[in-house]
Amino acid sequence: MKKDPSSNFASRVERLHKRLSPLFPNIDPHDLEMILTSLLRRPRERMQMMFLKKRKDGRYVF
Amino acid sequence: MSFDANFLAELLEALSTSGLEVVLIGNAAAILHGVPVMTQDVDLMVRDHPRLEEKLKQFAKAFGVRLTRPYEPTSQVIRATGRPVMVDFVRTLSSRESFASIRSRAIRVRVGNKMAWVASLDDVIAAKEAAGRPKDNATLEILRETRSVRNALKNKNTKNRE
């Protein structure tokens, strides 16, 4: 059965996290996961959520 | 494309129409390098030019924004407002690096049908270190951590190829 691409991506992050976490004991494990998730995305995907937008009522939205 | 990617594409189109040469700096550049942060604005280093004011006016018209100078005389930031995301233009950086030197190390990133110059992560970090403002210091840790992890990943990939 073909694996779901999101599950492949998650496994890749998990594998790299296991391999790299001993090299970065000072980085919080959750931060390391966020960093890896972000680094493994393509630039086009990184552009999907960059800005906090200010609405006319003064509130910010993603 | 997402709203954010569309916004960037429209911005690049207006910059190109008005003949402004820019390099994306600040957190927007950091995000394109893979740093997990968000930002409220786009910071652009603009190449100084005798007709810069005229080009900026053309840009304002093309992008539908109003130009202000919110921090004069202490800072010469030129701010474009009127869209959901502000755009700030600077001619100099706190790290005192020239436009040519920042662009020589910048990477090219495709946004829609345009290419953007994006300052290197090292230059983004150096500018924030030199600025030393609390808001810059707040993001420095995640910027440095991402750079270290990215370098480790690069080394891993290089070793795998050897």
Sequence spans of domains, chain B: 3-161
Give the Cβ contact number of residue A13 at 10 Å: 19
Structure tokens, A45: 């995907």
pLDDT of res. B101: 96
As a whole number, mean pLDDT of residues A43-52 equals 87
Three-state secondary structure of chain B = CCHHHHHHHHHHHHHHHCCCCEEEEHHHHHHHCCCCCCECEEEEEECCCCCHHHHHHHHHHHHCCEEECCCCCCCCCEEEECCCCEEEEECCCCCCCCHHHHHHHCEEEEECCEEEEECCHHHHHHHHHHHCCHHHHHHHHHHHHHHHHHHHHHHHHHHHHC
Q: Which residue has the tokens 């810059």?
A: B136
**Nearest CB to B38: which of A16, A23, A51?**
A51
pLDDT of residue B156: 74
A12 at the B interface (CB within 8 A)?
A: no
Establish if A50 touches chain B: CB-CB under 8 angstroms. yes
In this complex, do A20 and B152 lie within 8 Å of one another by their Cβ atoms? yes
Nearest-CA distance B93 → chain A (Å): 22
The CATH-assigned architecture of domain B3-161 is 2-Layer Sandwich (3.30)
Query: Positive or negative CA dihedral for B126, B128, B129, B130?
Result: positive
Q: Which of A41, A50, A57, A61 best probes binding to B when mutated, by most B CB atoms within 10 angstroms? A: A50
Number of structural domains (chain A) is 1
Of B32, B38, B149, the CB nearest to A52: B38
Minimum-distance CB partner of A24 among B28, B32, B148: B148
pLDDT along chain B (162 residues), means of 10: 91 96 97 94 94 96 95 84 93 89 96 94 95 90 97 80 59
Question: Kind and range of the H or E element at A50?
Answer: none
Percent of chain A, pLDDT > 90? 55
In this complex, the residue of B39, B42, B149 whose CB is nearest that of residue A35 is B149
Which residues of A are less than 8 Å from B35 in CB distance? 35, 38
- Residue B89's pLDDT is 97
What domain range is A56 assigned to? Answer: 5-61
ipTM for the assembly: 0.85
pLDDT, residue B158, reads 64
Record the pTM: 0.90
Q: What is the mean pLDDT of residues A13-31?
A: 96
Core vs surface per residue B45-70: b (16+ CB within 10 A) or e:
bbbeeeebeebbebbbebbebebeee
- Cβ contact, residue pair B36, A37, below 8 Å: yes
Q: Residue A1 pLDDT more than 90?
A: no
Q: Is A55 on the interface with B (CB under 8 A)?
A: yes
